[in-house]
Amino acid sequence: MVGTMPKALLLENIHPDAAQSLRDHGFEVECLKGALSEDELIDALEGVDLLGIRSKTSVTRKVIDARPTLTAVGCFCIGTNQVDLEYAGKNGIAVFNAPYSNTRSVVELVIGDIICLMRRIPAHTHHMKHGMWDKSASGSHEVRGKTLGIIGYGNIGSQLSVVAEALGMRVLFYDIEEKLAMGNAHRCDTLNELLEQSDVVTLHVDGRKSNTGFFGEDQFEHMKQDAIFINLSRGFVADLDALKKHLDSGHLSGAAVDVFPIEPKKTGDEFLTDLADEDNMILTPHIGGSTLEAQKSIGQFVSQRLEDYWFKGSTMLSVNLPQITLSDIKSNFRIAHLHANLPGVLARVNRVLGEDGINIAAQALGTEGEIGYVVTDVAQRPDQRALDQLASIEGTIRMRVIS
């Protein structure tokens, strides 16, 4: 049964609109600025129903086992690789993210990085700060007419493609999945085909484990002389030692890195990197999607998904549960039954309700892989015997009564 004062914990400086929206819907909300370690998170989750995180806090099997009553996790970002999605689903924890809300912010930073690196702005700025006047066009180029190679042609990569083409760039892209080219962009059949032609190479791959170390020495070796490298995707994707080697040798003319293999958990912590002494280098602290506009949009979007799941049982845009879009409850009570995807569960749910004399006003069923989800609106609350029977149906993962 939904409690009178459910509790939400929001970490990593999530936009205040998210907390306010949850409070407006009757949640007790605690907000913390930094990320938490595994053990710290377990302690902080005592009595918590909804958890909000960004990219630094990991929801592992240990966390899920320690806090089995956690109902949902909101990832206030694009990625969800910081959550064990499969294990969360099998334990009845819904996970939501914001796959589109900060797309434009990331794209704009990439465009800014490209222009600044092509004009050698970091190097010129460094010289000016150290009292050197170096008015020269040497090594400076317009982006118009240059070739941009986009690796990963999803939401960000495809929108970047459109904006870059508007600046007069030729766009190539490579993706392991079939993607529709935007504008005049050309799909490359192999990664090396893209690397050997691109003046700028930018990574926009997802956080799946198989992408660890995806871009290393061999890939850098195939890049054009004086090309520029940009990574705003995931820190574990690119080999930064190999990047530094190719910058120091003069093979690459510049780079921008926004994500790192190991990052501090909170603002103000010390961070050191060997790339700091590179001449034409832009280093940013994982701020690709961190604009006020994007964070506000993400805060509103993910908090709405969490509220809809808590109060309606709606799994629309969940990344680990069958997706069922639900409107307001059409009757007095709603029974949300999450279960292993076994034959006959729906029939058993209906049999229990029928034996209890419960009239069904509306019903929806969805399955995804090994998980099934049936939501039933009923005219009256089942008695405790019926609720116990529903909870004991073979394969039941979690059963909630929402009113």
**CATH number of the domain where residue 122 is located:** 3.40.50.720
220 and 336 belong to one structural domain: no
90 and 112 belong to one structural domain: no
pLDDT of residue 209: 85
Percent of the chain topping pLDDT 70: 99
pLDDT category, 208, cuts 50, 70, 90? confident
234 is catalytic: yes
Q: What is the mean pLDDT of the chain?
A: 95
Percent of the chain topping pLDDT 90: 91
**Tokens (6 digits) for 133:** 């006047």
pLDDT reading at 2 higher than 60: no
- What is the spatial distance between Cα 316 and Cα 386, in angstroms, rounded to a whole number? 28
As a whole number, mean pLDDT of residues 132-152 equals: 95
As a whole number, mean pLDDT of residues 323-350 equals: 93
Which residues in 39-65 are b (16+ Cβ under 10 Å) and which e? eebbebbeebbbbbbbbbbbbbeebbe
Name the residue type at position 324.
I
pLDDT of residue 327: 87
CATH code, domain carrying 332: 3.30.70.260
122 and 259 belong to one structural domain: yes
153 and 193 belong to one structural domain: yes
Q: Which one is catalytic: 263, 368, 381, 398?
A: 263
pLDDT reading at 194 higher than 80: yes
23 is catalytic: no
pLDDT tens for each residue of 113-127: 999 999 999 999 999
Q: Which one is catalytic: 67, 104, 234, 305?
A: 234
If DSSP codes are grouped into helix, strand and coil, which group holds residue 378?
Answer: strand
Q: Which one is catalytic: 104, 286, 305, 400?
A: 286
pLDDT category, 348, cuts 50, 70, 90? very high
pLDDT category, 160, cuts 50, 70, 90? very high
384 and 395 belong to one structural domain: yes
pLDDT tens for each residue of 258-304: 999 999 988 889 999 999 999 999 999 999 999 999 999 999 999 99
263 is catalytic: yes
As a whole number, mean pLDDT of residues 37-42 equals: 97
107 and 180 belong to one structural domain: yes
As a whole number, mean pLDDT of residues 311-330 equals: 93
Residue among 53, 84, 130, 122 nearest 306 (CA): 53
Q: How many CA atoms lie within 13 A of 268 on its CB side?
A: 4
**Tokens (6 digits) for 342:** 């076994």
49 and 154 belong to one structural domain: no
pLDDT of residue 3: 46
44 and 136 belong to one structural domain: no
pLDDT of residue 332: 84
Cβ contact 306:50 at 8 Å: yes
pLDDT of residue 221: 98
Domain count, the chain: 3
97 and 122 belong to one structural domain: no
**Domain endpoint, select from 254, 283, 312:** 283
pLDDT of residue 4: 63
As a whole number, mean pLDDT of residues 94-108 equals: 95
pLDDT of residue 265: 82
170 and 277 belong to one structural domain: yes
Which residue range(s) make up the domain with 168?
103-283
* In 11-158, beta strands by DSSP E: 28-31, 50-53, 72-75, 94-96, 147-151
As a whole number, mean pLDDT of residues 394-398 equals: 97
261 and 122 belong to one structural domain: yes
**Domain endpoint, select from 256, 283, 310:** 283
**Domain endpoint, select from 263, 283, 303:** 283
DSSP per residue, 222-237: TSPTTEEEEE-S-TTT
Cβ contact 42:20 at 8 Å: no
274 and 401 belong to one structural domain: no
pLDDT of residue 330: 73
